[in-house]
């Protein structure tokens, strides 16, 4: 039975959505193609109608999820507070793909690294646009520093087994970035 183009596109989107959650939850190496297809409600045999390999799936999943993650408005404080929250920390499968996958990306293909690079560029641009008070050089520096601190804080908060310290890492990073934003706004 032939599948319509619309159904093929829907199946592909479902595979990418499921793969992105599984990869963020378990890591690239711990997730098999069969597991992705099963979780998407599709047969393993249909995989190669969408992707040439698991490496291709990884690269396309990163492009898919990072493009979706880069959306949103310019309310940097709201984004900062949501990102550096226990709720986000505790939801690795549905959380930031950069925080969930950045450490493993260096072991992936050039296509996957390119997708992560483009996602990073997009986030830096998103944060830069939320800081219009600064000149372009300072705006870019603040965006890169803020994003690096945000991602690093989530990675660290997820890595430790002390919930009090984990919450403190998130809170203090949020406060530190927020103070920098307040100084910029006051100028």
pLDDT tens readout for residues 74-112: 688 999 999 999 999 999 999 999 999 999 999 999 999
Domain range list for the chain: 5-186
Say if residues 24 and 100 touch (Cβ distance below 8 Å). Answer: yes
Spatial distance between the Cα atoms of 50 and 19, rounded to a whole number of angstroms: 13
CATH of domain 5-186: 1.10.357.10
Tokens 């199946």 belong to 11
Percentage above 90 pLDDT, the chain: 81
Write the CB contacts of 14 (distance below 8 Å, at least 6 apart in sequence).
40, 41, 42
Per-residue pLDDT tens over the stretch 154-164: 999 999 999 99
Say if residues 112 and 59 touch (Cβ distance below 8 Å). Answer: yes
Percentage above 70 pLDDT, the chain: 94
Write the CB contacts of 50 (distance below 8 Å, at least 6 apart in sequence).
8, 11, 12, 15
Tokens in use for 7? 């159904």
Spatial distance between the Cα atoms of 139 and 135, rounded to a whole number of angstroms: 6
Selected residue with higher pLDDT from 134 and 38:
38
**Considering the entire predicted model, what is its pTM?**
0.88
């Amino acid at each position: 039975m032939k599948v319509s183009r619309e159904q093929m596109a829907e199946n592909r989107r479902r595979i990418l959505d499921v793969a992105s959650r599984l990869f963020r939850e378990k890591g690239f190496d711990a997730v098999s193609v069969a597991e992705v297809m099963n979780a998407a409600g599709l047969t393993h045999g249909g995989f190669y109608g969408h992707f040439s390999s698991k490496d291709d799936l990884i690269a396309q999943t990163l492009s898919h999820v990072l493009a979706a993650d880069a959306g949103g408005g310019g309310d940097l404080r709201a984004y900062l507070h949501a990102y550096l929250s226990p709720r986000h920390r505790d939801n690795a499968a549905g959380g930031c793909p950069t925080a969930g996958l950045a450490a493993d990306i260096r072991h992936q293909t050039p296509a996957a690294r390119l997708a992560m690079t483009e996602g990073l560029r997009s986030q830096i641009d998103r944060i830069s646009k939320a800081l219009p008070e600064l000149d372009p050089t300072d705006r870019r520096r603040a965006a890169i520093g803020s994003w690096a601190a945000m991602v690093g804080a989530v990675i660290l908060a997820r890595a430790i087994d002390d919930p009090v310290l984990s919450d403190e890492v998130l809170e203090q990073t949020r406060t530190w970035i927020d103070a920098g934003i307040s100084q910029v706004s006051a100028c």
